[in-house]
Structure 1
Amino acid sequence: MNLPLDFMLEVIVCVLLAATIGYCATLDRRLRAMRAGQDGLRELIGDLSGATEQAMLAITRLRQASDETGGALTEQVKRGRALADELSLMVQAGNDIANRLGGIETRRPAAQPQPAAGPRIVQASREQKPVSKASAEPHPLLDLLKRAR
């Protein structure tokens, strides 16, 4: 084995170059895979960005719809409160009239029964006689109050 030193150095350099070429090929495959993954990641980021924009637009639309619905609901609540106040006044006036009518009935003879607590159905008596010409005319409010008692 008498090989010249130059030849042995060239063989060692060739082996090292072959190892370097193999390593470069492996590194190239890995870089290509990373770039392909990077392209997929770019697509994923683009899709995510588009979905985020759509979500923001949907949130804006929901806020607008909520504001509109809230305004309409506020108006309905205001109208409902006004109607409740008006109904309360009407009930109070009806109670006042019923109390006055109840005071008139207590002055009458005890032949008529006293009203019970709570609403009941009153059957009209056919034997009632009109007290005066004014009371002979039908009064729908008076009839309703009598039915309610």
Structure 2
Amino acid sequence: MMFGLPLGIFVEGAVAVLLALTIGYCTVLNQRLKRLHADKDVMRQMVADLVGATNLANQAIKELKQTAVEADLALNSRLEEAERFGIELANHVTSGTAVLERIAKITSVARQSQAPEPVEQPNKVQSALEQLSSRVRNRGVAA
């Protein structure tokens, strides 16, 4: 016997103190587990929201890609059409220049042919007019 207390009471007191500490620690752990479980539900909801947002973003990206492809096709089509119109316009300008040169030659010939022979002048002018009208007819068929 130490200090006048029986050893059994000392051991039982120590066990009672350790048991009280264990119960207190279990209570703290239980509260932490409840918070962790509540956080788990919040995290589960957050993950579900994130998956939903990711799916929406993926769908939007697919739609943007499709729109970009459609815009590219439309733009290429318009560019090809503009190229054809440019070539056709260049051909018209070239033809117009040729017609203008012929008219200039015709007027030059008409001015020079004011000679005393009035019979030949109408024939040359008539010939030039016939060439011009055939050119206009040919041009109408080509366009």
Q: What TM-score do the two structures reach when normalised by structure 2?
A: 0.69
Please list the CA deviations of residues 2-51 of structure 1 after superposition, one character each: whole Å capped at 9, or x if unmatched.
22110110011100111111111111111211221121111111000011
Residue identity matched to 2:6? P
Deviation of the 1:103 alpha carbon: 4.3
2: CA distance between counterparts of 1:70 and 1:62? 12
Deviation of the 1:101 alpha carbon: 3.1
Of 96, 100, 103, the residue aligned with 2:102 is 100
Aligned partner of 1:46 in structure 2 is 48
Deviation of the 1:97 alpha carbon: 2.1
Aligned residues: 115
1: CA distance between counterparts of 2:4 and 2:105? 144
Gaps of 5+ in 2: 113-121, 134-143
User: 5 Å matches for 1:62-77?
Assistant: 62-77=64-79
Q: Which entry has the higher C-alpha Rg, 1 or 2?
A: 2
Residue identity matched to 2:16? C
Deviation of the 1:106 alpha carbon: 5.5
User: 5 Å matches for 1:7-46?
Assistant: 7-46=9-48
Deviation of the 1:100 alpha carbon: 3.2
2: CA distance between counterparts of 1:30 and 1:67? 54
Aligned partner of 1:88 in structure 2 is 90
Gaps of 5+ in 1: 110-130, 140-149
Q: What TM-score do the two structures reach when normalised by structure 1?
A: 0.66
Residue identity matched to 1:100? R
Paired-residue identity, %? 36
2: CA distance between counterparts of 1:105 and 1:2? 149
1: CA distance between counterparts of 2:32 and 2:108? 106
2: CA distance between counterparts of 1:100 and 1:69? 46
Q: SS at 1:3's partner residue?
A: coil
Deviation of the 1:84 alpha carbon: 0.8
> Using CA pairs below 8 Å that are at least 6 residues apart, which structure has the higher relative contact order?
1
Residue identity matched to 1:64? Q
Q: More helix by proportion, 1 or 2?
A: 2
Residue identity matched to 2:56? Q
